[in-house]
Structure 1
C-alpha cells in the first residue's frame, strides 16, 4: 500500500492532473471517480489507484478485479485527487488518436463541431457530452482550445470523451478549406446571421463553428462559413454561453435528421 505523498507514482498522478505538457509527453490522462471509471474501456486502462477505504467494499473489489491496481492510504489519496470529495478511485488512461477520416461515417452525413479558442474546460466537456447526445460524428479544435484531457473536461464529458472522435489542428483555416472541398457545409452562429438557425438545412454534411467565450469567432474563421445563422433572443440577452449555443445548433440538426 502507498502511504506517502512523496511516492513517485503519487507525484506522477498529480503531475498528469495539473500539467498538459506531462499528459502530452506520457500519452496518459487521469480519469477519476466511479462514473468515469465505469465508462473507460478496459483495454485503455494503464493503471488504477484505489483508496484504502474504497477497496474494503466487496462491490468495489469486484470492479477492479483483474486490473493492475494499487491501494493508497486515504490521506494520500486525498492529496492525489483533483476533486474536493474524492470517491476513492482513479485510473491512468491511454489517450486516443484520430485522423480526419475518423470524424466522418459512411452511413450518414458528416456532423461536426468545430471549435476555435474555447477556453473553459466545463464548456468543452459540455459540448462533447451534448454532442454525443445529438449524434455528432466528431469534433475539430484549434490548438488554442483547452486541453481535452484536463481533468475538469474529462469529468464534465461523463464518459463521452471515450466515444466521440476528436482532433486538434494547428492550421484551422487549412482544415476548414479541406472540409469545404469535401462538401461539408459550414455554419457559424452570428449576430449578423442571414437566417434564424432553424431555417437552414443540416441534413447534409454539416459543420458548426463555435468561437471563444468572450470574443466569439475570429473574422478569418467567420469568413470561411458558408452561412451565418442567428439564434433569436428575447429580453435583453444578446448572446448565449458557447456550450449552450453549440447545444442549440446540435439538437436542431439532430431534430432535422430524425425527420
Structure 2
C-alpha cells in the first residue's frame, strides 16, 4: 500500500489538477465512486486507479472491476488519496483516464447544441447532463470555454460526460456557417426577439446556440442564427442561468419530436 505523499504517483495525480498538464499529457482525473461507476458502465478506458482499504471493503465488486479494467491499480492510504484528489473530502477512489473525446456527427439530423465561451465548470457540467437527458445528438464547445475535462465539469455532469458526443471547436463561427449552408436551423436566444421559444419548429434538424454566462452570444454568432427566440420572464428578471435556458429549449425540442413520432398534432 502506498503511504508516502512523496511517491511519484501522487505527484502525477497532482499535476493533473492543472489544465496545462491535462492538455500536455492527454489525461484527466476521475474522482469519486459515481464517476468511476459511470466510466465502467460506458467501458471508458482507465490508465491508473487508486483506492483506500475502506473503499475497497465498501465496494468490493467495483474494486474487482477496476482491477480488471485499469492498466494499473494501487491501494493507498487515506492521506495519499487526499493528496491526489482535488476535492477536500474524497470518498476513497480516484483514477487517471486518457482524453478520448467522441466527436459528434457534423451532419445534424436531430438536435445539436453549440456553446460559446462558457466559463463556469458547474454550468458546463449541468448543460452536459441536461443534453444527455434530453437526447441531444452532440455538443460543440468553443475553444475559449472551460475545459470539458475540468474536475468540476465532470462532477456537475453526474457522470453523463461519458455519454455525450462532444467536440472542442477552434472556429465555431465557420461551423455555424456550414450548418447554415446545409439548411440546418440555428436557434439562439435574444433579448430583442419577439418569438417565444416554444413557437419554433424543433422537428427540423436544429442546432441550439448558447453564449457566455454574462455577455451572452457574440454578435458574429448571433447573426448566424436563422431563428432568434425569447424566453418570457416576469418581473424584473433579465436573464436565466445558461443551464436553465438550455433545459427549456432542449426539452421543448424533445416534446415536439416525441409528439411528432406519436402522430400527435398540436
- Calculate the TM-score normalised by the size of structure 2: 0.90
The equivalent residue for 1:64 is: 66
The equivalent residue for 2:264 is: none
1:29 aligns with 2:31: no
Structure 2: gaps of 5 or more residues: 260-266
TM superposition outliers: structure 1 runs of 4+ over 3 Å: 56-63, 97-100
The equivalent residue for 1:224 is: 224
Report the Cα offset of residue 145 of structure 1. Answer: 0.7
Report the Cα offset of residue 2 of structure 1. Answer: 1.5
1:83 aligns with 2:87: yes
Deviates more, 1:228-237 or 1:177-186: 177-186
8 Å CA contact 2:52–2:77 kept in 1: the answer is: yes
Report the Cα offset of residue 180 of structure 1. Answer: 1.5
- Deviation per CA, 1:119-172: give whole Å up to 9, x if none: 000000000000000010000111111000000001111121111101111111
- Deviation per CA, 1:56-101: give whole Å up to 9, x if none: 3444543434243101111111121122221101111122234452
8 Å CA contact 1:114–1:141 kept in 2: the answer is: yes
How far apart in 1 are the matches of 2:225 and 2:133?
24
Written as runs of structure 1 = structure 2, the 5 A alignment for 1:14-25 is 14-16=14-16, 18-25=17-24
1:247 aligns with 2:241: no
Report the Cα offset of residue 43 of structure 1. Answer: 4.8
8 Å CA contact 1:137–1:165 kept in 2: the answer is: yes
The equivalent residue for 2:56 is: 55
- Deviation per CA, 1:239-259: give whole Å up to 9, x if none: 101111111111110111110
Aligned alpha-carbon RMSD (Å): 1.6
The equivalent residue for 1:171 is: 171
Aligned residues: 254
